[in-house]
């Protein structure tokens, strides 16, 4: 009998310990980092538990919602959209968002993930309808920014913030792709022809510049040659004139000396006779003095010519004769 009482007593304590463990475990909540728990007391919002160790009243308080505060990536399924110029595109993307207000995320919308996905799809279709096909490819960054702004305006009451949206693929119809390929081929051909014409134009300009420089260099060389020749001829004339002046001055000095006149007369007579000799060699008709056999008369005639020239010089320069 006593053994049975002891066993029943042990079972009672075990039951109490088990119930106590359940109560303590239900009242102690450990919230991980970057997480938030929503606590309701008797079905009504009571508070938000942030990261750390917390105690709640068992069976009275209840953790109704658990939210991760990390940034999450949501894959937006492919969908059809019509651009401003009536081209149907198949487009998909990736949405990056995070929970900023756990309470609003719990009570503001039933399924936040589904709601944001649908909002992203409708916003994408709306933004594509405002743009042409070419602008869709050229201004993808602007399209992403507009989608993010539109989603944030609607999701603010849900306690969710859209950080960024990235379009993954834009797939136009096959006919549009073919037309785009033809357009790109024509554009490349146009660029090639423009580059070829520019190269030909530049080559012609280079050739013309080369010919121009050649002509200029040749003209400069010819001018330099003429200048050098003129300088040489001028220098030669000066040298000849200088030598002639020195010779005349030497002859004048010699004439002034004793016997100079006789020497001049003799020289003139020799040249006079020599001139007649050369004249006889070059022509058949020769004019001779009256007394060709009298050499004295020929010398006298030459001296008379010399005296006449000397008298004319003295009359022109009376100062020098004085």
**pLDDT tens sequence across 141-176:** 888 888 888 888 888 888 888 888 888 888 887 777
Q: Mean of the per-residue pLDDT values for the chain?
A: 77
Per the structure, the count of domains in the chain is: 4
Confidence check: pLDDT of 2 > 60:
no
Q: Which domain holds residue 283?
A: 258-316
138, 62: one domain:
no
Please check whether residues 252 and 263 belong to one and the same domain.
Answer: no
Confidence (pLDDT) at 240: 83
Contact between 167 and 95 under an 8 Å Cβ cutoff? The reply is no
**Where does a domain end: 237, 256, 275?**
256
Does residue 179 lie within any of the structural domains? no
Indicate the residue among 172, 201, 218 that finishes a domain.
172
Quote the pLDDT of residue 35: 92
Statement: the pTM of the whole predicted model exceeds 0.85? no
> Which domain-ending residue is among 256, 281, 305?
256
Quick one: 192 and 205 in the same domain? yes
Residue 180 lies in a domain: no
Question: Is there a domain that residue 192 lies in?
Answer: yes
- The answer to whether the CB of 88 falls within 8 A of the CB of 125 is no
- 240 vs 274, residue with greater confidence: 240
Q: What is the pLDDT of residues 42-65, one digit of tens each?
A: 888 888 888 888 888 887 888 888
Same domain? For 239 and 276 the reply is: no
Note whether 99 and 149 are same-domain residues: yes
């Amino acid at each position: 009998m006593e053994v049975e009482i002891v066993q029943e007593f042990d079972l009672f304590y075990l039951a109490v310990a088990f119930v106590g463990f359940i109560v303590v475990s239900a009242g102690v909540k450990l919230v991980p980092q970057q997480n938030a728990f929503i606590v309701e007391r008797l079905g009504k919002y009571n508070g938000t538990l942030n990261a750390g160790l917390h105690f709640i009243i068992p069976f009275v308080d209840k953790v109704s919602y658990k939210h991760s505060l990390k940034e999450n990536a949501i894959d937006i399924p492919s969908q059809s959209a019509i651009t401003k110029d009536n081209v149907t595109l198949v487009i998909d993307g990736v949405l990056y968002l995070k929970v900023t207000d756990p309470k609003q995320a719990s009570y503001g919308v039933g399924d936040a993930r589904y709601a944001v996905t649908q909002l992203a799809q409708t916003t994408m279709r709306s933004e594509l309808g405002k743009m042409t096909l070419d602008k869709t490819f050229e201004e993808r960054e602007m399209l992403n920014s507009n989608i993010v702004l539109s989603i944030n305006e609607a999701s603010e009451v849900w306690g969710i913030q859209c950080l960024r949206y990235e379009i993954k693929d834009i797939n136009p119809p096959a006919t549009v792709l073919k037309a785009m390929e033809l357009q790109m081929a024509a554009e490349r051909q146009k660029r090639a022809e423009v580059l070829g014409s520019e190269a030909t134009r530049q080559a012609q300009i280079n050739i013309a510049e080369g010919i121009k420089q050649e002509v200029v260099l040749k003209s400069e060389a010819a001018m330099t040659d003429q200048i050098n020749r003129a300088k040489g001829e001028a220098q030669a004339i000066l040298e000849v004139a200088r030598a002639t002046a020195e010779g005349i001055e030497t002859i004048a000095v010699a004439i002034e000396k004793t016997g100079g006149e006789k020497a001049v007369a003799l020289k003139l007579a020799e040249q006079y006779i020599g001139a007649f000799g050369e004249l006889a060699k070059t022509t058949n008709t020769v004019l001779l003095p009256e007394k060709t056999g009298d050499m004295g008369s020929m010398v006298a005639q030459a001296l008379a010519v010399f005296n006449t020239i000397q008298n004319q010089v003295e009359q022109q320069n009376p100062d020098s004769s004085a």
